[in-house]
Chain A
Amino acid sequence: MDLLSNLMEGFGYLVGYQPIIAIVAGVILGILAGAMPGLSPSMGVALLVPFTYNLSPQVALILLVSIYIAANYGGSITAVTINTPGTPSAVVTSFDGYPLTLKGKAGIGLGTSLVSSTVGGIIGTIILIFFSVPLARLAVKLHPAEYFALAIFGLTTVASLGGKNWPKAFLAAMLGLLINTIGIDPISGVKRFTFGTYRLFDGFALIPALIGLFALSEVFTRIEEYKLDKGKEAEFEKTQWPTFLDYWKLKFTIVKSSILGTLIGIFPGAGATIAAFLSYDLAKKSSKDPDSFGKGNPDGVAAAEAANSSSVGGALVPLLALGIPGSATTAVLVGALMIHDLVPGPLLFVERPDIIYSLFAALLIANIVMLVLGLFGARLWIKVTVIPKKVLLPAILAISIVGSFAVNYSFFDVGTCIAFGIAGWLLKKFGIPGAPIVLGMVLGKLAETNFRRAVIMGGYDVFFTRPVSLILLLLAILSFGVPLYQSHKATKKEKAAAAEAAEKK
């Protein structure tokens, strides 16, 4: 009962022009930051921290978390419309969102991403409100071996992403993992594959690599194939938007993905991207029509967006309950809290419940505001798809270049973006997808540091002696093996059918 009355007080705090303006401004800025390739949610939040010095702690936090929530949704807009994910987690949204646009159904993709993000965000917040303390305790008790097993489990999504082409998808993931080892080794300090240049000491930045692999490679493919016709644009004259029934059909996918996304978000270092990959994999495996994934299935968009938005609630669990930032954005939020003399952790619940519960209320309201603004905005975003390709392609290149530059103000990052763009274009030509490279780059650090820590702490057999780690590894084997077995069976069936047809002739 205490919780509910505190929550009502939290809502009460939001009655006033300052908190409402903070939520609306935060959501608008967040959507823009997310949609702009090169600006991650953490950068969006970090850039606004200096503007919060003169605000009250509540309003400052409300503004920053509103940006955080909306930025996760904003990334999907460019992923769906121009195949340029604004955030790393929106990579997964583009798997089915962009094919929907190519089919002339960008409205379905945008509508699905907005509603799934909103519902995902609300479910994530509800889990945060009711279960933050026990879940946070569980997350920090996990051994590095379990984090490594989680990373391996995440990697196995490649098996279902790749389908029949799984060796190529795995090769791409391995390449991403190897790229991630470039730079100074986080444990021993040894310089690895830096080729004598200090610019590689931190390795390749993820965002420019991601922009290159998706946006630039797509532009190069379009130019090479010279598919600059206007055929698809004509179909937008009668843009389709999802109906209530369409959304209702996605309910199980959204709820499953939201719960999984929140749980993954709780693990420090895991985050929205892994949540989106795992939920997409789960949605595909549990679908009656898994072959339609990657070809414009709204379930794919819903899974990715519900998961990455709900992971915000998850990421706030260890921050608020234990004071441990589990992601780059929550680390920035710790800084913002400290500016206002607030120390995140269990004591905050006791000393300043007004802050905590107004934050919870703001999270719920921000999701609703995002839905309203997103519904208006979607009519605007969809206009991007009617821009002639001959105008859009150079514009995407210009956005990609300034987006890569904005990450570290470095031309080296722009070069990284171009190099990954060329590599992505060539690899795609021969069936090697770009998404597993991103997954490898995201999972690399989590996998390596925890693998080495676990071995240092308990030797190589630690992965099999700890029950949670063993279960996760067994699940990984299943997750890897089942799609391969199914694909093998399907190929066998196809061959048998072809042979039968040939015999009849």
Chain B
Amino acid sequence: MELFKFFGKGPGFWLLLISLVVLAIIATVLVRKSSKKDYTGRIIVPFIFIELAVFFGILALGFPVKGDEVGPAVVPLLWIVGILGLSIVLLFRALTKHEEVDPPWGKVSSVVIYIVMIILYLLFMQLIGYFLATALFLITGMYYLNYRNWKVMISMCVGWILFSYFAFYKLLYVPLPQGLIIESIFG
């Protein structure tokens, strides 16, 4: 029990997490170099689920027990066992090539750029406020997808901003971020 508690927080937790990440990377490299490289995703996804089950399982076994018949760890462990079992089935199916080969990857770089854009949008929202940041995000987002009809782009931005102002800010009292810069200028 003490061992499980060690992994529950502090250095033990980080050691466990980093070990599992490193293990996943090593497994990916090994599979890609093997004869099953066409099944890399099909093998690594259940492998990560097994790691996830181990990680959550170790944390659950460290939960305090107060002599209950069904303590706080019982139900999570039940689901963890399910995840473990099903992941092993999927892993076995992939290893024995009973699964289809990995689907082809499309423009992953575009998705990554879009995710970065969303994160920047959230950061800008804190600085220049929801309305300006949203206008900037919508214009950039459409431009990045090669849309060039500026009339539609601008009317879309204005329309959405007006809708969110009246629907969320005025009617529903959602405290949309004003932005640190705007607040410091206009008070």
> Contact between B83 and A394 (Cβ–Cβ < 8 Å)?
no
How far, in angstroms, from A226 to B111 measured CA to CA in the complex?
Answer: 10
> Contact between A390 and B49 (Cβ–Cβ < 8 Å)?
no
Residues B4-59 near A (CB distance < 8 A): 9, 13, 41-42, 45-46, 49, 56, 59
> Contact between B76 and A178 (Cβ–Cβ < 8 Å)?
yes
Whether, in the assembled complex, A175 has its beta carbon less than 8 Å from a beta carbon of chain B, the answer is yes
Closest B residue to A417 by beta carbon equals B118
Q: Would you give the shortest CB distance from A316 to chain B, in whole angstroms?
A: 25
> Contact between B118 and A391 (Cβ–Cβ < 8 Å)?
no
> Contact between A411 and B122 (Cβ–Cβ < 8 Å)?
yes
How far, in angstroms, from A113 to B105 measured CA to CA in the complex?
Answer: 35
Whether, in the assembled complex, B187 has its beta carbon less than 8 Å from a beta carbon of chain A, the answer is no
> Contact between A393 and B141 (Cβ–Cβ < 8 Å)?
yes
> Contact between B160 and A390 (Cβ–Cβ < 8 Å)?
no
Q: Would you give the shortest CB distance from A82 to chain B, in whole angstroms?
A: 14
> Contact between B76 and A171 (Cβ–Cβ < 8 Å)?
no
* Contact digits for A451-463, partner B, Cβ 8 Å, 1 yes 0 no: 1100110010000
- B residues less than 8 Å from A299 (CB atoms): none
> Contact between A455 and B69 (Cβ–Cβ < 8 Å)?
yes
* Contact digits for A169-185, partner B, Cβ 8 Å, 1 yes 0 no: 01100110110010001
Contact of A391 among B68, B80, B86, B147 (CB under 8 A): B147
Q: Would you give the shortest CB distance from A411 to chain B, in whole angstroms?
A: 7
> Contact between A455 and B64 (Cβ–Cβ < 8 Å)?
no
- A residues less than 8 Å from B46 (CB atoms): 171
Contact of B175 among A223, A226, A409 (CB under 8 A): A409
> Contact between A224 and B160 (Cβ–Cβ < 8 Å)?
no
> Contact between B138 and A394 (Cβ–Cβ < 8 Å)?
yes
Whether, in the assembled complex, A286 has its beta carbon less than 8 Å from a beta carbon of chain B, the answer is no
* Contact digits for A223-242, partner B, Cβ 8 Å, 1 yes 0 no: 11110100000000000000
- A residues less than 8 Å from B76 (CB atoms): 178, 181, 192-193
- A residues less than 8 Å from B9 (CB atoms): 196
How far, in angstroms, from A113 to B118 measured CA to CA in the complex?
Answer: 32
Q: Which 8 A-B pairs have CB atoms at the shortest separation, nearest pair first?
A: A394-B141, A390-B147, A224-B106, A390-B145, A185-B72, A190-B72, A174-B82, A171-B86
Enumerate chain A interface residues (CB-CB to B < 8 A). Answer: 32, 36, 39, 47, 167-168, 170-171, 174-175, 177-178, 181, 185, 187-188, 190, 192-193, 195-196, 219-220, 223-226, 228, 388-391, 393-395, 397-398, 401-402, 405-406, 409, 411, 414, 418, 422, 425-427, 429-430, 432, 447-448, 451-452, 455-456, 459
14 A-B pairs whose Cβ atoms sit less than 8 Å apart in the complex? A39-B172, A192-B72, A192-B76, A193-B59, A223-B145, A394-B145, A395-B156, A401-B118, A402-B176, A414-B122, A430-B41, A430-B42, A448-B75, A451-B70
Enumerate chain B interface residues (CB-CB to A < 8 A). Answer: 9, 13, 41-42, 45-46, 49, 56, 59-60, 63-64, 66, 68-72, 74-76, 79-80, 82-83, 86-87, 89-90, 93, 102-103, 105-108, 110-111, 114-115, 118-119, 121-122, 130, 134, 137-138, 141-142, 145-147, 152-153, 156, 160, 164, 167-168, 172, 174-176
Task: Give 12 new A-B contacts, CB below 8 A, not counting A171-B87, A390-B145.
Answer: A171-B86, A175-B49, A178-B83, A181-B76, A188-B68, A225-B106, A390-B142, A391-B152, A401-B122, A409-B174, A411-B122, A430-B45
